[in-house]
Amino acid sequence: MTVTRHKYLSAVDYNRANSIADLIVVRTAPLIKQPVPQPVGEQRVVLRSLTWQSFLTVRQSLSPERNTRLTYAAGTLEITMSLEIHEFSSWLIGRFIYILASELGMETKTMGSTTLDRETLDRSGEPDAAYYIQNQPLVAGRDVDLDNDPPPDLVVEVDITHTNIDKLQLYAAMGVPEFWRYNGEDWQIYHLQDLTYQESQRSLTFSQVPKAKLYEFLTTARISEMRADRELRDWIRAEAKTQPTE
């Protein structure tokens, strides 16, 4: 918007008028919302049409000290490199589980991202975390053999970005009773029923803990991990006192 120079306007007045006019245009123009950049949690490479043996060949060719995770399902191999927000979220969820199990007096066998191979199912997973809790006595003190041992009781995956593997189908086929998935905003809990997962608002393993507690823990931990730890422990202890004794 430009103000026309009038014969009675001085140069100073003319420039001032134009400045005010420009300011009016800027202030009255409709605001255009800029897209909010989405966090990048992972980088992924996908290979397709691989046999089980081809998948094993690819895995064996990688360094034992690799910082990538491999997920294979029926011919599709996804190689994932986790970035900061993924690693931070995964670590905090693991901490959340550790505190719950510790305060509730549960024994655990933590598998971390140990490879879960099932050649007979043509599937292999390296989740962010896997735990034996209910079945911990069956595998305590030794290496797990999935051909003879039950699958982990709880598997956790953080997928901030799109994954090409159907994780629900993958872990359901393996018979994992409970699957947690976190995408950076939403925490989804799945229970295995009749070989398929059904979403639930409560954990099978920690049924007394409402879903909101993980959100509270993650939110607080982003500011202070120690305070999140203390507040969660205090809440569990307070809850225990309110539970009826047998």
Q: Convert the pLDDT of each residue in 160-197 to its tens digit.
A: 888 889 999 999 999 999 999 999 889 999 999 999 99
* Reported confidence tier of residue 6, pLDDT bands at 50, 70, 90: very low
Per-residue pLDDT, 66: 82
Strand partners, 157: 181
Architecture of the 83-242 domain: Alpha-Beta Complex (3.90)
* Reported confidence tier of residue 68, pLDDT bands at 50, 70, 90: confident
Q: Can you tell me which residue has the tokens 């245009």?
A: 25
Which of residues 117 and 14 earns the better pLDDT score? 117
Average pLDDT over residues 201-205: 93
151 pLDDT exceeds 80?
A: yes
- Chain centroid to CA 221: how far? 15
Average pLDDT over residues 35-55: 80
Mean pLDDT of the chain: 84
Mark out the alpha helices in 104-245 (DSSP H runs): 136-139, 167-174, 212-221, 225-242
Per-residue pLDDT, 174: 94
> For 207-238, what is each residue's pLDDT tens digit?
999 999 999 999 999 999 999 999 999 999 99
Per-residue pLDDT, 179: 97
113 pLDDT exceeds 90?
A: no
SS3 170: helix
User: What backbone phi and psi angles, to 5 degrees, belong to 192?
Assistant: -80, 120
Per-residue pLDDT, 200: 94
Helix/strand/coil percentages in the chain, nearest 5: 35, 20, 40
244 pLDDT exceeds 60?
A: no
Which of residues 3 and 234 earns the better pLDDT score? 234
Per-residue pLDDT, 30: 47
- Chain centroid to CA 241: how far? 32
From residue 150, how far is each of 27, 52, 114, 201 by CA, in Å?
Answer: 65, 22, 15, 25
Q: Which of 221, 236, 243 is nearest to 94 (CA)?
A: 221
> For 72-110, what is each residue's pLDDT tens digit?
999 999 998 888 888 899 999 999 999 999 999 999 999
Which of residues 58 and 42 earns the better pLDDT score? 58
